[in-house]
Structure 1
Amino acid sequence: MALASVCVPALGKDKDRKAEERAAKQQAQQAALAALQRGEILPLARIMQIATTRVPGDIIEIEYKAGPKYEVKILTPDGRIREVNLDAKTGEIIKIEDK
């Protein structure tokens, strides 16, 4: 009787990785909230206003990053996706790029 060998990915590792990603995202959210409450970063509404003034369109994603900075993805009226990186403390535009 011959036995077939089957390769099965380690599902535990995938679950661990996803749990780590969720924990890191939650930690970043808590850090952003604490910084906002201390007045160290601008409110999201102000960041959105600054970003769409420079790049008109619809905001489709916003990420808070270490630095601290915001990455704002905007769908422009002509269908392009542009990413606006802003300093979270000052609102200064760091970089605008096409995605």
Structure 2
Amino acid sequence: MRTAFLPRALLPLVAALSLLLAVPPPAHADKDADRARAAVQSGEILPLTRILEAVSAQYTGDVIGVKLDRDDGVWQYEVKLLLASGSVAKLEYDAKTATLLKAKGRDLDQARKKP
């Protein structure tokens, strides 16, 4: 049995998300959340935890933002990562496979973990 855990670096993000959930979202946010939930439940996309595991396995840094978009019919997670150098990197993952599609940012090469 696999035990789920969150890296310590993600705790501030989880705390911030908890606070956001306490504030009533705009009406369109409900639709977006419903669409995302349905996509996860149908297997169309992976849950965010799987994407965060992929980020953590590939890069060092702190996740400071995540966005789920559907671009030309393809779901993508966009992850903003605060690197040790202080710069912010933008990583784009295929939401169905957790494949890294694009990575941009200064000092990103130094943040990449060795396989």
TM-score of the superposed pair, with normalisation by structure 1: 0.71
2-structure distance, mates of 1:25, 1:96: 27
- Aligned residue number for residue 62 of structure 2: 58
For 1:36-88, what per-residue CA distance to the aligned partner results, in whole angstroms no more than 9, with x for missing partners? 01122111111001123222111000000002010000101121100110000
Amino acid at match of 1:62: V
Amino acid at match of 1:36: V
Kept after mapping to 2: 8 A contact 1:47/1:91: yes
- Aligned residue number for residue 35 of structure 1: 39
For structure 1, the residue ranges without an aligned partner over 5 or more in a row are 1-21
Kept after mapping to 2: 8 A contact 1:71/1:85: yes
For 1:1-49, what per-residue CA distance to the aligned partner results, in whole angstroms no more than 9, with x for missing partners? xxxxxxxxxxxxxxxxxxxxx4444322211110101122111111001
- Which of structures 1 and 2 has the bigger CA Rg? 1
Residues 24-33 or 79-88, more deviating: 24-33
- Aligned residue number for residue 82 of structure 2: 75
Structure 1 residue runs of 4 or more that deviate by more than 4 Å after TM superposition: none
What is the alpha-carbon root mean square deviation over aligned residues? 1.9
Residues 57-66 or 24-33, more deviating: 24-33
For structure 2, the residue ranges without an aligned partner over 5 or more in a row are 1-25, 107-115
TM-score of the superposed pair, with normalisation by structure 2: 0.62
Q: What is the number of equivalent residue pairs in this alignment?
A: 79
Structure 2 residue 96 is the aligned partner of structure 1 residue 92: no
| Aligned residues with identical type, % of pairs | 35
